[in-house]
Amino acid sequence: MKIPTMKKLLLLSASFCVIAGSASAVILAEYTFDADSYGPSTTATGIEGSNVTGGSGLSTSPVLSGTGNPAKSIAPQGLSSTSEADAVAANDYIELKITADSGYTLSFTSLDIDLQRSNDQSATNWFIRSSLDSYASTIDSITSIATSPSAFASYTIDLSDAAYQNLSGEVTFRLYGYGAVGENPSLRQDNITFNGSAAIPEPSSTATLFLGAAAVTALLRRKARS
């Protein structure tokens, strides 16, 4: 039986997608701050995480707080803006960079984070932006951070948007805070965890892809001649 050419093309395409696309979900990078470090405590194979640093709006470099979930956490000081737009203009953020090693592609699914207000004068709102659009839009925000004293509360940010899939190179995330009433307000942040997958095409799969492309081209040529 003769299989129509378009069906052959579809079958070829589907089989190569399966070969090239396998990658399991992992923790890409996790920041627990428990070892007096501003860097990640865990990273996936093929992934690097920078130290956490602060924007120019903070009153000091980000400091580690003795209170964490468990201790320690990172506590930027000087989150004194009163709106999201003001916080962006004032550079009231901490930032970190996630990088895929050469040859790897990076896909995000979500970000988990624990937040706690240090006291009743702490920032009440948190939001996140990234370098992928030059920090122009807010990916997600949290506006219901519990009043201190309270336990850390856990939140999950969705990063499954197509813009955060199959990236090579690096992405920097900025984590902002605002809405405080104190003079030098902070917001404790802990267990900053990026989930997703890191994949590298295996040499055999790459070779198969080239063969597949050649086969598809041959089929198209044959179809064009008939």
Question: Strand, coil or helix: what is 125?
Answer: strand
Least distance to Ca ion from the beta carbon of 210, Å? 47
The terminus-to-terminus CA distance of the chain in angstroms comes to 18
Residues 204-223 that bind Ca ion (CB under 5 A): none
Residue 30 interacting with Ca ion (CB under 5 A): no
Residues within window 152-191 making contact with Ca ion, judged by CB under 5 A? 190
- The amino acid at residue 195 is N
Give the residue with the Cβ less far from Ca ion, 32 or 81.
32
33/173 with CB nearer Ca ion: 33
Q: Minimum distance between the CB of residue 51 and Ca ion, rounded to whole angstroms?
A: 15
User: For Ca ion, which stretch binds (CB under 5 A), given 66-74, 117-125, 126-134, 172-180?
Assistant: 66-74
Residue 126: strand pairing partners = 142, 177
CB of 86 to Ca ion, least distance (A): 29
Q: Return the range that interacts with Ca ion (CB under 5 A); candidates 4-12, 44-52, 67-75, 145-153.
A: 67-75
Binding residue for Ca ion, selected from 26, 32, 126, 129, defined by CB under 5 A: 32
> Residue 42 CB, nearest distance to Ca ion (Å)?
12
- Regarding 112 and contact with Ca ion (CB under 5 A), the answer is no
User: Is 69:83 a contact under the CB 8 Å cutoff?
Assistant: no
- For residue 33, give the 3-state DSSP assignment: coil
How many residues can be counted in the chain? 226
User: Interface with Ca ion includes 34 (CB under 5 A)?
Assistant: yes
Task: List all residues 6 or more positions away from 122 whose beta carbon is below 8 Å from its beta carbon.
Answer: 79, 148, 180, 182, 185, 186, 187
Least Cα distance to 189 among 19, 46, 47, 54 occurs for 54
**Taking a C-beta distance cutoff of 8 angstroms, is the pair 108, 196 a contact?**
yes
> What part of residues 68-97 is at the interface with Ca ion (CB under 5 A)?
68
Q: Interface residues with Ca ion (CB under 5 A)?
A: 32-34, 68, 190
